[in-house]
Structure 1
């Protein structure tokens, strides 16, 4: 899960980043709301943590901007020292999914984020095989079969395809895909993602007549769409 933290207190921002990264999350911190707003227009996050008392745009206004102008349904948690009942109500009514008052124990924060993640992105417990229509992903073997026929993929191609199928119809930014598959690698050539996208489009035959369409989104990233009613995702247990 990829999380943005909008927090002007450098000490708390670094503490939260360290805590969340230790729990396995990919985390990006923003000292100013304006910097986050610029990035949010061109990037994908799975969850956003927002402080109320920001020096440029208040967290309250930022929540309204995400829900209103952007029309985004990304899960939002306000993490703030404002404890008045009126503030809590206002934050939730503006569009926050949860409101946590500081100070908060690290274990409690992690538990609240995990619970929100389960509600926002429900899924069955992962089994060794995840199926999307005729596309069967064998996770332990990193093997893909289409209608029972094995398709030769590299590890990166397999994980890129699985990330796209796991986020059907959701626009995914280039940064989101790069971090999900390659991790935080600043030396990665910018064309690497495009090259892998081209390869899996060809190898998987991602065409409307096969039920799926993989399209680029200008200055943003890619989106995989189901063109016909495909069977639901199936996770097979051992």
Structure 2
């Protein structure tokens, strides 16, 4: 099946360059240039991944991300394009539910690799449905489903992978740098990406979560010697 990618940006040059690279990878690209046309495409649920510019005419990429996450198809993978140095936009975008972000100016090939990575995580090859459990949380790798206190929880691709990693390595402490490497596959990047995803996981799992913060060291699933907030844990 050919994957369909939405590229939403008000700059036609950006759209053209990104389209060329994604089509080289065998993907079908749908282009939009503003918020209303992008919202219309998203509402039809005819795409497998969306690349959204944060600064396009409203509703912007962050507003559209929020709309997707609160809509009927909340697990649609989303990558945001943000301006270089605009850390607040990146954090707000991740809090809104983005799976990944790329800063402008960017390498089109890097974006294409990020798209491929997120697609692999969101649409994995069929596998044995391995089950990971942590107290009141049950995660099934093959079907990519999660139950918290017996109730299904909708997670994005990155949230799922982060939870799976923590459940597979319970009571081991990982710094944000290590999680960025192990889960995202990045050798460098904004550490707030991990912080935001941890907060989102805690919120979605509710009282069933056992994600603990080990002061000054990082995060672990299920440790008693921890504090609740990660003030700069790395």
Q: Could you tell me the TM-score, scaled by structure 2's length?
A: 0.50
Report the Cα offset of residue 70 of structure 1: 4.0
Distance in 1, Cα, partners of 2:67 & 2:84:
20
Residue aligning to 2:77 = 75
One of 55, 67, 74 as aligned partner of 1:53: 55
Report the Cα offset of residue 99 of structure 1: 1.0
Residue aligning to 1:101 = 103
Distance in 1, Cα, partners of 2:26 & 2:73:
28
One of 9, 12, 17 as aligned partner of 2:11: 9
Report the Cα offset of residue 124 of structure 1: 4.9
Distance in 2, Cα, partners of 1:39 & 1:89:
25
Aligned residue for 1:4, secondary structure, equals: strand
Residue aligning to 1:66 = 68
Distance in 1, Cα, partners of 2:86 & 2:114:
20
Instruction: Say yes or no: does 1:23 pair with 2:43.
Output: no
Distance in 2, Cα, partners of 1:102 & 1:82:
5
Report the Cα offset of residue 78 of structure 1: 0.2
Instruction: Say yes or no: does 1:33 pair with 2:35.
Output: yes
Aligned residue for 1:122, secondary structure, equals: coil
Report the Cα offset of residue 111 of structure 1: 1.4
**CA 1:15–1:73: 2 relative to 1, 3 Å:** same
CA-to-partner distance for each residue in 1:5-36, whole Å, 9 max, x for gaps? 11111111111111111221000000111112
Distance in 1, Cα, partners of 2:17 & 2:34:
17
CA-to-partner distance for each residue in 1:58-77, whole Å, 9 max, x for gaps? 11111101111344211000
Q: Could you tell me the TM-score, scaled by structure 1's length?
A: 0.49
Distance in 2, Cα, partners of 1:85 & 1:43:
30
Aligned residue for 2:41, secondary structure, equals: helix
Matches within 5 A, 1:155-234: none
Aligned length: 125
Q: Which runs of 5+ in 1 are unaligned?
A: 126-238
- Say which structure, 1 or 2, has more relative contact order (CA 8 Å, 6+ apart): 1
Residue aligning to 2:220 = none
CA-to-partner distance for each residue in 1:188-228, whole Å, 9 max, x for gaps? xxxxxxxxxxxxxxxxxxxxxxxxxxxxxxxxxxxxxxxxx
Distance in 2, Cα, partners of 1:63 & 1:82:
19
Residue aligning to 1:90 = 92
Distance in 1, Cα, partners of 2:71 & 2:117:
27
Q: Which runs of 5+ in 2 are unaligned?
A: 128-234
Distance in 1, Cα, partners of 2:109 & 2:61:
23
